[in-house]
Structure 1
Amino acid sequence: MLASAPGRYDKQPTVRVPGQHRVFTGDQAWAEVDRHARNGGRRTPVIVVDTYPGTDLAQLMAVVRAALPEYVVINVEDAAAKPIEDIDTLIKANLTNDRVFGVMSHHSLDQFYDADRLASLADRVLDSTQPTVLIGWGAALVPLQRSTLVLADMARWEIQQRQRRGAPNWRCANGDEDNLRKVKRGFFVEWRVADRHKRALFPSIDYVLDTNRSTSEAKLITAEAFHLGMQAAVSTPFRVVPFFDPGVWGGHWMQEKFELDSDADNYAWCFDCVPEENSVLLDFDGQIVELPSIDVVFLRPRELLGELVHARFGAEFPIRFDFLDTMGGGNLSLQVHPLTDYITNTFGMHYTQDESYYLLDAADDAVVYLGLKTGIDPAEMTRTLESASRGEISFAVEQFVNAFPAGKHDHFSIPAGTVHCSGANSVVLEISATPYLFTFKMWDWDRVGLDGVPRPVHLDHARRNIQWDRDTKWTQENLVGQVEQLASGPGWVEERTGLHTLEFIEVRRHWFTDAVEHDTCGTVNVLNLVEGPEAVVESLDGGFEPFVVHYAETFIVPAAVGRYRVRPHGAGVGKRLGTVKAFVRGTEMS
């Protein structure tokens, strides 16, 4: 049986989990938790529900109280968390005064809690003759023996959607605050602390609760089912759930090609493979459970990433694929990304945002702005940008920056420190390193954001990272049109299309009308079907079921898969197809 039915771009891809596993919902879920707790050997059951920050705790507590009326339900956050003012003081250096950028936190969740109050809460529960539910982010910190541990998990993208609708950060009264500042607090502090905390809980959880939807509709699975789902994901090619977002420069290509809401003003981004943010949908015999795809990275890093990628990056997915749609839209902001030394010393991130633009589609007038024009005066460009940032003038981009014609299937490398932006009327498949937040905008074409507020410009950061020697000649010789044929066979050709040697990602393109064989060589592969309607990915040894992919879909082939083939399928038979494949250089195992 094929893992995906023929059709257009699949916005809800799933990972099928073998075996028989129950998915519990509503009161049935809490009845199952209660059953487990009462069979745990304690005379008075204690259930711990440890939540990811962003969970609607009040709603979840109401659901639990209604489902388990015999239990006392205690909000651990109210009972034992430090005052938010104390936490703000603790993390002040991480948050900074900047609207976008902070410093990576290395705090642990116990630092946000009062140890004496946690101990007092444990004594209160142990002295009680009533069954108890301890609930909240950090509930597992209460020092007592529990009957049952439930991890209530949530993807970061869902948290951001809730914050846009007015949800605050954890225990903050900032529901109406600038969303960029909410994301900053999450990205640099809350999510880092939360991931450390839940990784420590993984070995001891009894259940996982999917809270990505309404809490009353939350789905519960056993720890066994959860771990088998993680294993299923790394045993086959799979896709994470893409998400789409509007922007001031957004276009309309994805609205048509991906059948998105036609009434939306535009769609600028599609985050098609950003496991830190995306979800993964686990299919338990037709019952779908949504969990953060980063859980796969945390729990199965060696099978997913490969030994050498894991050794270099740890349990972090280093490759990102996303779409930038400016078809009928505008130019992206003129920008530059930080050098590795700068991002490490300034923000505490251990690798930087090298990237590239692969043109999935382009109108005749499409351009990519890339590199500086030969002979420009850095001081003059800096002064002009500063004047433009004050609203005194409009910055004349083409006076200082090269504009290269951009056609379909062109590939432009953009190592950190290179001034760049995509122009209007194109669709870019951005193949890059994962630290997506670190973009230093220099000029935004006199625009404001969708919220009506001028988008942040970071000239001070930018000028410290611009590589002024990357002029027209250097850019043409190093970053534009770098295509090299490597191999060919019956019905296929393999090419190297980038990235630059300063970047750690290798990209290979295959054109094919027949089957072409691949081998992960022990390192994770990320692919996109950039040409043709449909292909199928097959195991050479029957290790996974055939996996169908459609035009523009990004898919991950875990390192553990080994050898596989990609061939035309369905509507793709008889046509010339193309894939691009990215992997980390120097991590292939012989």
Structure 2
Amino acid sequence: MPTYDLKPEISIKDYQDAWNGYEKIKSILPFTGEKKVIAIECYPGVDLEELENQLLEALPHASLVCSDDYAYDAETVTKKIQRTLTDDRVFGVMSHYTLDEFFPKAELKKIQQKIARFDGMTVIYGTGATIIASTPDVLIYADLTRWEIQCRFRSGRSNWKADNASEDALRKFKRGYFFEWRMADRLKQNLFPKIDYLLDTNIPNEPTMISGADYRKALKHVTEQPFRLVPYFDASVWGGQWMKEKFNLDPEKENYGWAFDGVPEENSVRLRFGEVVVEVPSINVVHQFPVELLGEKVHARFGKEFPIRFDYLDTVGGGNLSMQVHPYVEYIQDKFGMTFTQNESYYILEANENSTIYLGVKDGVDKDEMVADLKKAEQGDYRFPDEKYINCFPVKKHDHYSIPSGTIHCGGPDTVVLEISQTPYIFTFKLWDWGRVGLDGVPRPVHIDHGAENINVDYNTTWVKEQLINPFRTIQETTNYKEEHTGLHELEFIETRRHWFETEALVQSHDSVNMLNLVEGEEITVESLDNRFKPFTVHYGETFIVPEQIKEYRLVNQGNSKEVAVIQAFVKVL
């Protein structure tokens, strides 16, 4: 049986050259010759010590300047951004800082004047290198994926300009999510047309590099064909065992609760240039070619944000997810500075007789009484009586449940959920976590005060049964093909369709970028109707993206399964 591809790649044919390893990179870069300034702008999290030891140590005659040394110190930066960070362990406020705000102007002027007096070559490296030298003779951008940054946080790495190596990973992630990555992405977008070389620093001591021209062409090429993101997997206190077997993951790991395989803000793309693979954050594609990828209508509505998210939740052999609720639009805008909220749905990919979903409150629930019991449970030595307040429904394979913001919900045991949702993916207000602590031994954070402001008790048993459970409606059907509307709820801006077919299906993009997953069957190909791209192979469980500029495409059953099913998500055009 075809297997899930853990490292999908996009082959780039039209390029000049590509290099791997520091020795080859040093031989290519213009590190000798006349007076010049070279800037190595680094995404926060790039290992500067590695650059110093492996790349810059070979430049005995160059003047080296680390830009980080000329930014404010850690205490000043943290104080400056305190309103963005907040005192909360998980949630901050989306910042609008730019990197230049963290370089004192007097110090900046001094180092710029000093560099002007240097003879020969000057190499400025670090986060903010281009703040010091805005028009260098050569610009190298050292990039890094967010998952690799998070792994470095967990291993003890600090945030940029922060003395927080021992701080818990949630707080480090919060500082990255709300502050560092926003600021760095703004700068990266501005530098994109100026980059002379793109340096991939994801694998320690094994960099790869391409020219800026090839990098720009490659990102545009991504938007001209179906493609997959590079998935990553993570453990959880409720994590299960299903993905280990189905996706050929490390069997020695205790569990895998999460799979992020359709989150452009978090995932990456692997670009193959002959023997060299360059991995970059997939959000780079969204930022640089939003119209080509998203479509004019989606771009007009969301700007440079990818509004759809697919991920997996695996509780097979594990436990319940946390009881939770997502914020209303006005709440997430007012409290956190986000533009839209986290509506979602659960598509059931695997289930047995124990599988359940908690969804909505029971008829007649008193909200104040329920919140009081949640707060009592938060203090410990008291079990929240979920059976008194919350609906619990059995689920089966291929069910689909809409979950608009304001709906209390929780996935049950022995279930694999394909979560299809709107993108702001960290805004989950945990209300009750079954008395558990996290994998780090620290009690998992709950946010009852936030949650209480967003629980809608009108989303009760009666309403949920009428509105949220399996809203299937057949759109068209022939002997060997059926297209169904499967959700999401009318309050949510994503629409999902399911395509069942024996041989092939013709699919429309609906003026939106499409995100899809093969939820039944072994293997399909995505094929062009006009030969614009080569047939693209998809295996069971793989999430893939079809850019909006591909208006129509064909899905073809290539496996041994008599019938296959693909679920398609797109933005409803109002």
Per the normalisation by structure 2, the TM-score is 0.98
Taking the aligned partners of 1:237 and 1:93, their CA distance within structure 2 comes to: 41
Task: Pick from 159, 163, 170 the counterpart of residue 149 of structure 2.
Answer: 159
- CA displacement at 1:399 relative to structure 2: 1.2
Q: Is the 8 A contact 1:368 1:403 kept in 2?
A: yes
Structure 1 counterpart of 2:19: 24
Q: Contact 2:77/2:161 (CA < 8 Å) preserved in 1? A: no
Q: 2:362 aligned with 1:373, yes or no?
A: yes
Query: Which residue is 2:167 aligned to?
Result: 177
1:357 CA drift (Å): 0.1
CA distance in 2, matches of 1:145, 1:198: 14
Report the AA paired with residue 96 of structure 1.
T
Q: Equivalent residue for 1:58? A: 49
Give yes or no for contact 1:20–1:285 (8 Å, CA) kept in 2: no
The equivalent of 1:451 in structure 2 is 440
The residue correspondences of 1:298-317 to structure 2 (distance < 5 A) are 298-317=287-306
SS in 1 for 2:188: helix
CA deviation digits over 1:153-176, x for unaligned, max 9? Answer: 111111000000000001211111
Instruction: Give the equivalent residue in structure 1 for 2:568.
Output: 581
The reply on whether 1:273 has 2:262 as its aligned counterpart is yes
- 2:6 is aligned with what amino acid? K
**Counterparts in 2 of 1:145 and 1:408: CA distance versus 1, 3 Å:** closer
**In structure 2, what is the equivalent of residue 186 of structure 1?**
176
Q: CA deviation at 1:481?
A: 1.7
Q: Return the match for 1:73 from 64, 75, 84.
A: 64
In the alignment, what sits opposite 2:119?
A: 129
- For the structure 1 residues 58 and 376, does the alpha-carbon distance in structure 2 shift closer, same or farther, using more than 3 Å as the test? same
Q: Residue 15 of structure 1 aligns with which residue?
A: 10
- Consecutive unaligned residues of structure 1, counting only runs of 5 or more, are 1-5
Name the counterpart of 2:212. 223
The 1-side partners of 2:289 and 2:184 are apart by 18
C-alpha displacement of 1:142: 1.3
Give the letter aligned to residue 380 of structure 1. E
Conserved? CA contact 2:521–2:559, under 8 Å: no
Give the structure 2 partner of residue 259 of structure 1: 248
Residue equivalent to 1:100: 90
**Contact 1:118/1:143, CA 8 A, preserved across alignment:** no
Find the aligned partners of 1:232 and 1:491 in 2 and give their Cα distance.
34
Q: Which amino acid aligns with 2:3?
A: R
Would the aligned equivalents of 1:490 and 1:514 in 2 still touch at CA under 8 Å?
Answer: no
Partner of 1:353: 342
**Separation of aligned partners in 1, 2:548 and 2:60:** 48
Give the C-alpha shift of residue 87 in structure 1. 1.5
CA separation in 1, counterparts of 2:92 and 2:10? Answer: 35
2:446 is aligned with 1:463:
no
In structure 2, the partner of 1:404 is 393
One-letter amino acid matched to 2:311:
D
How far did 1:564 drift?
Answer: 0.6
Contact 2:511/2:573, CA 8 A, preserved across alignment: no
Whole-Å separation in 2 of the counterparts to 1:482 and 1:529: 20
Q: For residue 164 of structure 2, what is the amino acid of its counterpart?
A: N
Distance 2:89 2:557 in 1: 47
After TM superposition, give the deviation of residue 213 of structure 1 in Å. 0.9
The SS at the match of 1:106 is: coil
Task: Name the counterpart of 1:547.
Answer: 536
Shift of 1:234: 0.5
CA shift digits 1:53-88 (9 cap, x unpaired): 01111211222223333322211111x101222212
Q: 1:571: how far off?
A: 3.4
Residue 52 of structure 1 aligns with an amino acid whose one-letter code is Y
The alignment of Structure 1 onto Structure 2 pairs a total of residues equal to 573
- What TM-score comes out, normalization by structure 1 length? 0.95
Among candidates 324, 342, 353, match of residue 364 of structure 1: 353
The offset of 1:143, in angstroms, is 4.3
Q: Which residue is equivalent to 1:213?
A: 203
User: In the TM superposition, what whole-angstrom CA distance separates every residue of 1:309-360 from its partner, at most 9, and x where no partner exists?
Assistant: 1111111111000000000000000000000000000000000000000000
Given candidates 419, 430, 433, the residue that maps to 2:422 is 433
SS in structure 2 at match of 1:49: strand
> Which residue in 1 is equivalent to 2:467?
478
- What corresponds to 1:89 in structure 2? 79
Maintained 8 Å contact 1:61/1:135: no
User: Deviations 1:71-120 (Å, cap 9, x if unpaired)?
Assistant: 22211111x10122221221110111000001000011001111222222
Amino acid at match of 2:229: V
Aligned equivalent of 2:323: 334
Matched to 1:460, the amino acid is D
Counterpart for residue 518 of structure 1 = 507
Q: Distance in 1 between matches of 2:197 and 2:508?
A: 36
Q: Which amino acid aligns with 1:136?
A: G
State the SS of the aligned residue for 2:259. strand
Let me know the Cα RMSD of the aligned residues: 1.2
Shift of residue 495, structure 1, vs aligned partner:
0.2
CA distance in 2, matches of 1:446, 1:144: 53
Q: Which runs of 5+ in 2 are unaligned?
A: none
Q: What is the identity percentage for the equivalent residue pairs of Structure 1 and Structure 2? A: 49
Q: Secondary structure at the match of 1:571?
A: coil
**Match for 1:211: what amino acid?**
T
| Aligned equivalent of 1:292 | 281
- In 2, the alpha carbon distance for the partners of 1:151 and 1:571 equals 46
Q: Secondary structure at the match of 2:549?
A: helix
Supply the distance in 2 between the matched residues of 1:20 and 1:375 (Cα, whole angstroms).
Answer: 65
Q: CA deviation at 1:31?
A: 2.5
Aligned equivalent of 1:3 = none
Aligned to 1:508: 497
1: distance between equivalents of 2:558 and 2:56? Answer: 52
Please state how far the C-alpha of 1:21 moved relative to its aligned partner: 3.2
1:251-297 CA-partner distances (Å, limit 9, x unpaired): 00000101111110000000011111111000112321111111110
CA distance in 2, matches of 1:143, 1:557: 39
Distance in 2, Cα, partners of 1:21 & 1:8: 33
2:39 maps to which of 48, 61, 65: 48
